[in-house]
Structure 1
């Protein structure tokens, strides 16, 4: 299918192949179950992103789709909505399989689907070699491609009841030379399975895979560009802190106010991440931390703890954060070093139509950059007084 990458008027989608695209402006236009809409509201989803406006009708119908676009366009949220809508909670069998790459991504996808489907009582399991009991009673199974293919080969994962297959980050999977694993899984699935492919880019391998596994006329072939962040969805605040050593007390004052939802606390150095985690542990705050020098297994374990809710706060440096997740609250313990870094941070709380809160602790040396950010983006980063956060 021919795929266009041209921007359109409302944020950057191109559509090629398949029938004319149906566009929805509101989630309510999709005919979703009331419990699905309730779960979406709980997640803070108020309106679809530009990509989701075009992709969701086809994804919810599960007629086969190829959707590509960079991080931040709402692909995972889109297929999570489709799965939660289509899976039958009364059937205690695996009905949907999400195949992705490894690392922390399976845990993040599991969290997204679980939170979206909580009112429908949809159960989601990450399954791999360490899950000997199998996906008994779980309607959705998420796993890394190499683990899923190994279990299929051993006949330890039965896929007879699977009706929906999601191939997430197909471009990465194919780049890692896992094409044979993908086809191995496809051969084990019922012929009637609905396949949807999601990727960040559309190399020849992804297009070839799509032509082999999607219907001759897939419901949708869509390429979307990174949307511009809508600053209206993010409440931005700053707290002026006279001395660097006062920041810790100001932070705990903020934590007394912010009582719901996970949060990311940004530091500018690895050393500061470990120091802050130690200080919070002394006050009985369960936190996870990540940074770019961390060993893979430790990074995966810490992110899994955060995604599962075992720890409420994630303390991180910018380069280590998983851009898949939506974080309702973002706190910059250290102010960013430039405008782009600031936008990347607050974007975690305002993507996909969600409303978020971003709070920055600023000292006198940070004020010039804060003013520059306000002027450059024509935005207002309102001041919270130190009294308001319980620090007199």
Structure 2
């Protein structure tokens, strides 16, 4: 099947061809015809499956069909959870709409509101927005949504996780009841189905992958290590294996900053990206990472949501997420568009519960091993339920033998590994204090 088989107009097809795309992805092949028919849609797909084009292409096609003269009014509204995703969707709208007489704008927080107000006053056909900033515009009376024909909720599950439900409800009350609504989500958990039941009309359901499945293009591995030595192991792996583009996940903003600074002291160029960073700082960090002038990007789940990084080779879970679904979202950053990727998790004894939850969710066993010289002080099995006896050291685990000295071209500053300070047994008050 080619894009020309999906019913798109010649102008949109030309833009697709100019980008070098010939064959639609599964989500595109199913979603585009449904949107062109005017149907409401609930679409689920793994991250990196081409969902942005799945709604952008038919949306542009439908808008050009009903184009009229007079002042421009917002006819299509796309809601996204984060600033980065809003900017990326806006870029896609510009690229695919390059042959069309349609105007678009993006509004999100972290930047001045006056340029956005000016753009809205000049008139736009397509508005990409984050819920919080759009609600601000509604409160100020600087945006009119009374003519919206198509509404897209992109990454709806993440918007709900971030607490945007009240803002979404306010926005949905500001658009006409007679509209086409497209909901895209990585999962269809209860809150998503409730939202769809309230605001979608007899939607078509599309799922191109098993819910919460991890892509086969990603090689997954788990290394057991004491919490106090995670940073040392991460630095060693990046340097000795000469990894160049590494997206590392932490649970907290403060932890992201601390880790980025520690890696920089080890001679690895690193930057942190999270919600407390200014929009300018986040944009610069992402640009430097894409251009490989920054080797390691340390991010929180919220900040990384929606990041579109072509051919990202490595994702590292420095800390396991509290929510197992976030594991799927994290490793979905790599292994995209036919490329292979590696996802590595550094797991300490305190994270056994999160590890078991991830295993239950993805329904596949993750290979567990240790790196020579970085074995945990106390043997533990992350799959073992509390109360069951621990396996003897080495039982059920493979050992990865690592060289003590990285290669000369790795830019890793360390020679022989120094002995870490004693932190006490895992679970002791002293060890917990070090982890805090």
Counterpart in the other structure of 1:107: 84
For residues 86-134 of structure 1, the C-alpha deviation after alignment (integer angstroms, 9 at most, x for no partner) is 666x999566533536xx5243133134147436548542257553313
TM-superposed CA distance for 1:298, in Å, is 0.8
Is 1:363 the counterpart of 2:374? The answer is: no
Counterpart in the other structure of 1:35: 15
Is 1:140 the counterpart of 2:126? The answer is: yes
User: Is contact 1:267-1:273 (8 Å) kept?
Assistant: yes
Aligned residues: 326
Larger of the two Rg values belongs to structure: 2
Counterpart in the other structure of 1:125: 106
Is 1:305 the counterpart of 2:289? The answer is: no
The SS at the match of 1:186 is coil
Correspondent of 1:185 among 170, 175, 191: 175
TM-superposed CA distance for 1:141, in Å, is 1.7
1:168-247 correspondence to structure 2 within 5 Å = 168=154, 169=156, 172=160, 175-176=165-166, 179=169, 181-186=171-176, 194-198=180-184, 200=188, 203-204=193-194, 206-211=196-201, 221-222=204-205, 224=207, 226=211, 228-231=213-216, 233-234=217-218, 245=232
1:278-289 correspondence to structure 2 within 5 Å = 278-279=261-262, 285=269, 287-289=271-273
Counterpart in the other structure of 1:12: none
For residues 42-95 of structure 1, the C-alpha deviation after alignment (integer angstroms, 9 at most, x for no partner) is xxx97524x544223222x2613221548749555532343455666x999566
- My pick for the range that moved more, 126-135 or 67-76, is 67-76
For residues 22-50 of structure 1, the C-alpha deviation after alignment (integer angstroms, 9 at most, x for no partner) is xxx66564345132255475xxx97524x
TM-superposed CA distance for 1:347, in Å, is 2.5
CA-based RMSD of the aligned residues comes to: 5.5
TM-superposed CA distance for 1:277, in Å, is 1.8
Higher RCO (C-alpha 8 Å, min separation 6): 1
Distance 1:287 1:202 in 2: 34
TM-superposed CA distance for 1:236, in Å, is 7.0
TM value normalised by structure 1: 0.57
Structure 2: 5+ residue runs without aligned partners?
224-229, 291-295, 347-369, 384-399, 416-436
Distance 1:115 1:299 in 2: 25
Distance 1:195 1:56 in 2: 13
Distance 1:264 1:84 in 2: 33
TM-superposed CA distance for 1:226, in Å, is 1.5
Is 1:346 the counterpart of 2:324? The answer is: no
TM-superposed CA distance for 1:222, in Å, is 0.8
User: Is contact 1:66-1:221 (8 Å) kept?
Assistant: yes
Distance 2:75 2:402 in 1: 46
TM value normalised by structure 2: 0.53
Correspondent of 1:329 among 305, 313, 334: 313
Distance 2:183 2:93 in 1: 20
Is 1:151 the counterpart of 2:137? The answer is: yes
User: Is contact 1:332-1:359 (8 Å) kept?
Assistant: yes
Structure 1: 5+ residue runs without aligned partners?
1-24, 212-217, 291-296, 373-381
Correspondent of 1:63 among 13, 24, 38: 38
Counterpart in the other structure of 1:79: 55
TM-superposed CA distance for 1:289, in Å, is 3.0
